[in-house]
Structure 1
């Protein structure tokens, strides 16, 4: 009789729930988050509408701000570097547009879960939804800023499509092929940037939720990262002064942000495209998503308590 009771008890006992710290749960969160595109798409669009609520021109303020910054600094640095405005202004414009997207992924990505505290505590949704909400919002802002590039490229189209053009007067060693069908490479390039924005928002978002000192640190370092990345200056200057083999070229080559900027900027303005930029970005994509998956496995269940 006791043996029968024990057997019945074992059959009636439900299996233990799967551990929250598992690769399967982490991967399921990411997959389910991507599937709920209507949710994060709506939330990201509402962020843009809320930001410019009761504004006369609305989201066009994004475009206007970018246009003023690009034109103002483009004219200033073209004089400082003795650069040609018809080719340097598109260079710096696209650089600013791509940089704003990358910087947004870094700075806003650190506050992905902090800003969504209310939703995380009351809405049973995958954490990936909030990371994709951030990336989608930045994508919409990128699309608005891209209008500035269209106008600038249209104005200086003849210069940008001329094979062998140079950006600076010292850049004779780096003649550019000009805009061609390779401009279509900008599509997979931006897709790759957006994919990287996903793991940045997840990884840095989880770390920043636990350690609130991370967002101010990222913001403080962003100024240094901007001037260390070829946005307002070109690698032609380093090549002309120190040669291609000079150790000073490592200032650009060892900066991963330079490769992220270049895979998108090069096809848009007809620059010479080097495939090693794609290789570096692809490597960071794999490593980054691997680290994000580890963070999701170990700390996904704790985010709701940390916020």
Structure 2
């Protein structure tokens, strides 16, 4: 078999799908590695990953209190809104920025340990879900202080989180492969994500726009896909009305994203070990 034949066989959807399935099957490996990442990062620390919880909580309280005063919003409504926005944003932000570095950061393992590439992505997403679980404690405390009436429909947060995790996987796969080939992608993403933070309703909402006489911008904000990802998780937890359009947009983007991820894995999966 020639090199060209071998390369052609490696660029098949079945091989790409097999990598994803085999990688998921090695759950003991990526679950262990993801947990070890957190333990290693906070080794010899008394509070460990709760330092991130403290930092997120402090930022949420400061921003929630400040912007509620600036825009004359009720603190009992705006503080939980900002807190959830920051917690969910941290999860999405990590899947983009750390996802772009996922293969570069694991160069040694990729070259020395013959495992599916997807193992490193699952490890990243699992690690971020653990941190999300730590951060959600902040919202639980705020929800106790400012209780809201909940209904059974608010359990939609469970499939919403599953959708977020599913999207984090394809985002990390796509940006990971792209940034491994083109190293300028990572700093570009850093700048873009920073801009998106201010363009996404995290510390402000539609009421903020209306109070500033900029209600017409609400339609433009709808074009920001991150708005829809935030809302499918935030609305159920706040006990707010859930909009069907947010779910439709997220489901469509999930399908489209996984199509791109499958194509990227089919075409470039075998080249990543040579690029890192």
TM-score bracket, normalised by the shorter chain, equals: over 0.9
Q: How many residues align?
A: 270
**CA distance in 2: counterparts of 1:121 and 1:130, whole angstroms:** 13
Distance 1:114 1:183 in 2: 39
Greater RCO (Cα-Cα under 8 Å, separation 6 or more): 2
The one of 208, 228, 232 equivalent to 2:199 is 228
Is 1:187 the counterpart of 2:158? The answer is: yes
* Structure 2: distance between partners of 1:36 and 1:272: 39
Aligned to 1:272, the other structure's residue is in SS state coil
Displacement of 1:182 after TM fit?
A: 2.3
Contact 1:32 1:126 in 2 (8 A): yes
Which residue pairs with 1:295 in the alignment?
264
Equivalent-residue separation in structure 2 for 1:216 and 1:54 (angstroms): 31
Tell me whether 1:39 sits opposite 2:10 in the alignment: no
Partner of 1:19: helix, strand, or coil?
A: helix
Q: State the shift of 1:252 in Å.
A: 1.7
Give the whole-Å Cα distance in 2 for the aligned partners of 1:84 and 1:249. Answer: 20
Identify which of 118, 124, 138 aligns with 1:134.
124
Partner of 1:121: 111
Distance 1:289 1:40 in 2: 21
CA-atom RMSD in angstroms: 1.3
Counterpart CA distance in 1 for 2:207 and 2:70 is 14
Query: Which residue does the alignment assign to 2:227?
Result: 258
Match of 2:189 in 1: 218
Determine if the alignment matches structure 1 residue 48 to structure 2 residue 38.
yes
Aligned with residue 250 of structure 2, among 270, 277, 281: 281
Match of 2:71 in 1: 81
1:183 CA drift (Å): 2.1
Structure 1 alignment gaps of length 5 or more: 1-15, 162-178
1:205 to 152, 169, 176: 176
TM-score, normalised by the number of residues in structure 2: 0.95
TM-score (normalizing by structure 1): 0.85
Structure showing greater Rg: 1
Pairwise CA distance, 1:62: 1.6
